[in-house]
Chain A
Amino acid sequence: MRGADLADPVPVQLLAEDGTFTEHPTFSRYIEGLDDETLRELYRHMVLERRFDTEATSLQRQGMLALWVPALGQEAAQTGVIAALQPTDRVFPTYREHAMALYRGVKPEELMGMFRAATHTGWDPHKYNFNGYSVVLASQVMHAVGWAMGIKQDLATGALDEGRAEDELVVACLGDGATSQGDAHESMVFASSYELPVLYFIQNNQWAISVPQHTQSRVPLAHRAAGYGFEGLRVDGNDVLATYAVTQYMAEQIRAGAGPKLVEAVTYRIGAHTTADDPTKYRTQEELEAWKRRDPILRYRTWLEAQSILTAEATEQVDQEAAALAKDLRAAVHSLEPIPLERIFDTVYAEPHRQVEVEKAWLKDYEAGFAEEGQVSDK
């Protein structure tokens, strides 16, 4: 246990709000080796997500999506973590990890299927090593730990699936609210007892819908890890470099067999919880403005420009790419077709199941029982 870390609730920070870089005895070294291209990529991914997110909110407001879950303000936390991982690492997201999904290559139409209620999960989790979004709070944390147990068993029996890396790490994403779920607790007990290769990535965005973080926990959420016997660190989630460095630091140890670790990225949800939420009802404008001044993209861009890593042309290019992505997204949403009814039932079990067949037949019959457009009823 690193007692010093536990006693210090101040999040690890490399980039201050004004974009100035401060050396850190443990974490600076993870940044020093990064080339300019990699650093620009971090910026690019954050900007792409933000534009994507804004467009999705508009599409919801135009009736094209049933719901949208904005990730505005959390771009650095998500990008920092996903960029520090290997493509072979498996991610179990909540429903807000859009930056991570896009980073892994999930396509706009795949991401939007669920939010238009056209599909259940829009993408193949195995293709991107990125699981489907999980709307049931903290359920994905159990899935992550189960997956990690599988890895451990496979390694023990030498039956690792082809194509899976021996040093695979599993990321369990959760929010501050989900830490209060029993599932989160149980998963941490198992992850610790079995010394599983799990990285808990908590995005503490301060609000669980309308419940403030201090109601969820009287101590920093990172301190929860100590209770289960593993290490937890707080990082400034609006500092993409610090988030990247801390994730690398944790991942190194997990891959070396140290068991689970926890990163609490302290950030802020600039937007609403979802498009069906009105945050002005429970939080103040002053609080929002204070967090806007800690904007993750602005801070990072200021530093990149000061280092002459990001030129005006490069910025313009990223903005253009973001605009194109927004356009693609709009087109993709318009082209989404609902999946056939059958698929809902056909994918419940691998083999035919009598009860599911009965239910499928019933629903088809029910759906067929509606009048056609404009057909006048007999009554």
Chain B
Amino acid sequence: MSQTFNLPDVGEGLTEAEIVSWHVAKGDSVEVNDVICEIETAKSLVELPVPFAGTVEELVAGEGETIEVGQPLIRISAEGAAADEPQRPTEPQAQAPDNGAAGAEAPSTGASEAEQKTTDDVSEEQNQALVGSGPKADAPKARPRTRPAELDLVDISDLDVPAGSQRSPVPGRTPSGPAGGAAADVVRSATPPVRALAKRFGLDVAELVGTGPAGRVTRQDVEAQAQQGAAAGSETVDTTLSAGPREEQVRVRGVRKATALNVSASASEVPHVSVFKEVDVTRTMELRSALRSDASYQQLNVSPMLFAAQAIIWAAKRNRQVNATWHGSHYTLCNYVNLGIAAATPRGLVVPVIHDAHAYTLQGLAAAITALTADAREGKTTPAQMQGGTISITNIGSLGLDFGTPILPPGQATIVVLGAVRTKPWIVDGNIVPRQVMTIGGSFDHRLIDGDLAGAFISDVATIMEQPGLLIS
């Protein structure tokens, strides 16, 4: 007889684990409590002892594979044990998810033929394993409910219910009850969550006929009424936006995962403050045209971002506190600029850093930005290239946008945002003239940088964009 050891929940509500390494191989004999493998859960590395003695018949999951709690891990053929017990599927504790048997019910559980088969092989011992003792191992695999569970925990049996407020049993809408019906009637008609739901749909529970116990309006009653209303208002009922499943579960990984972690940490830890300024960048754009026709700038990216980078370095020198890292009890003032360039790539948002950007000439900076953004788009940016930034720049103008409030990269106090360059009416010497205008702004760590400093810094950046010739002086 073969006994299957399914992956247990080793840490209060874990749902899955990765097999790090196997300590046994097919054909090995094992004793009860011999360590058979090491697994890594969301909480820790754990060595798993086997609950049966016998010979290893099959390692069901391979090293590096992530399997869900309750799925088969290893099969052991017992020494001399006869299959005298009738085999039955895994019987979970009340409310515990049931991996195998529930597969018959919901296709969404993805229970495969293999899983169905394993439930038949499960030994009596395995039947008693606790699965999903914690809160996370919940909904999708739980046994389905045959009826909704109404949270109705207030006993109001002794409240006065005035005569005439009983609802008509006839389906459909009932005539309105007496104005200002007793509180007990309202409480009795539906539970608070159902009343809240009705309110969201703009329905009055007093006008619905309840199908619940004692004529109570249930969640289903409200939803049915809401659907009727919705159906009446629309002709065709397309169930999805475009061809494909109604909802998809997409695993979060790679750059998306790293971005999510970074921005969550930054947004929750750092109080962001933003300022903006609209600037006439006509002279910068003229300089740009001049450089573009310069032979030494061929093949290089000469964008407004290049000039903005120069302007930022200049402005950071005049406003040192924007170029700093907050540590709680102290902060580090940086006497250099490591400039992060936010780049949208096919893999997601990447912020490569030009280290010691202040040491570059304009041409060198142009070359660095060109190389860095090219690497980022091709997915070649190394982790080291993304470390150590002190100030970042994000060019949303290339997306045709004007304003934005970016989240600060971890450890940085300043990120400058560049809008699109647009030809706009501008007042010059009392006359309306068309000028090329862009919005420059940024997000700042308010713990370090107050509005006046943020304003001074952005104004300095704007000054250079307005008068790039100042950099020569």
Contact = CB atoms under 8 A, between A and B. Distances in A.
B408 interface: no
B8 A276 contact: no
Contact of A371 (B47, B51, B130, B145): B145
Contacts of A277: 43-44
B83 interface: no
A105 B170 CA distance: 65
A377 B12 CA distance: 29
Q: How large is the interface on A (under 10, 10 to 19, 20 to 34, 35 or more residues)?
A: 35 or more
B129 A338 contact: no
Contacts of B11: 275-276
Given A376-B104, A377-B144, A66 B133 contact: yes
Interface of A is mostly: loop
A112 to B, nearest CB: 12
B8 A117 contact: no
Contacts of B5: 62
Interface in B1-22: 5-6, 8-12
Contacts of B8: 61-64
Contacts of B48: 61-62
A370 B130 contact: no
Contacts of B145: 369-371
A281 interface: yes
B40 to A, nearest CB: 10
Contacts of A110: none
A276 B43 contact: yes
A369 B147 contact: yes
Nearest to B104: A374
Given A58-B49, A276-B11, A278-B44, A367 B129 contact: no
Contacts of B151: 362
B128 interface: yes
Nearest to A370: B143
Interface stretch (A238-246, A297-305, A342-350, A351-359): A351-359
Contacts of A373: 89, 91, 98, 101, 143
A10 to B, nearest CB: 35
Contacts of A358: 153-155
A42 B168 CA distance: 76
Given A117-B133, A277-B44, A354-B155, A377 B105 contact: yes
Contacts of B154: 358
Interface in A32-89: 55, 58, 60-67
Contacts of A370: 95, 142-146
A278 B105 contact: no
Which of A272, A362, A369, A373: most chain B Cβ within 10 A? A373
Contacts of B129: 62-64
A275 B10 contact: yes
B125 to A, nearest CB: 7
B130 A63 contact: yes
Contacts, number: 109
Contacts of B152: 362
A61 B128 contact: no
A276 B91 contact: no
Contacts of B95: 367, 370
Contacts of B46: 61, 278
A371 B101 contact: no
Contact of B94 (A272, A278, A362, A367): A367
Interface string A276-319: 11101100000000000000000000000000000000000000
A376 B104 CA distance: 7
A251 to B, nearest CB: 38
B47 A61 contact: yes
Nearest to A326: B33
B45 interface: yes
Contacts of A377: 105-106, 144, 146
A61 B49 contact: yes
Contacts of A366: 149
A375 interface: yes
A118 to B, nearest CB: 9
A334 B44 contact: no
A338 B93 contact: yes
A247 B131 CA distance: 42
A371 B155 contact: no
Nearest to B103: A374
Interface of A: 55, 58, 60-67, 116-117, 272, 275-278, 280-281, 330, 334, 338, 354-355, 358-359, 362, 365-367, 369-371, 373-377
18 contacts: A62-B8, A62-B51, A64-B129, A64-B130, A65-B130, A66-B130, A275-B10, A276-B11, A276-B12, A278-B43, A281-B44, A354-B155, A362-B151, A370-B143, A373-B89, A375-B146, A377-B105, A377-B144
Interface of B: 5-6, 8-12, 32-33, 43-51, 89, 91, 93-95, 98, 101, 104-106, 125, 128-131, 133, 142-149, 151-155
Given A58-B51, A277-B43, 11 more contacts: A62-B5, A276-B12, A330-B32, A334-B128, A369-B145, A369-B148, A373-B98, A373-B101, A374-B105, A375-B105, A377-B106
- A-B interface, 8 closest residue pairs, ranked by CB to CB distance from nearest: A63-B8, A278-B44, A63-B129, A66-B133, A276-B11, A62-B51, A58-B49, A276-B12
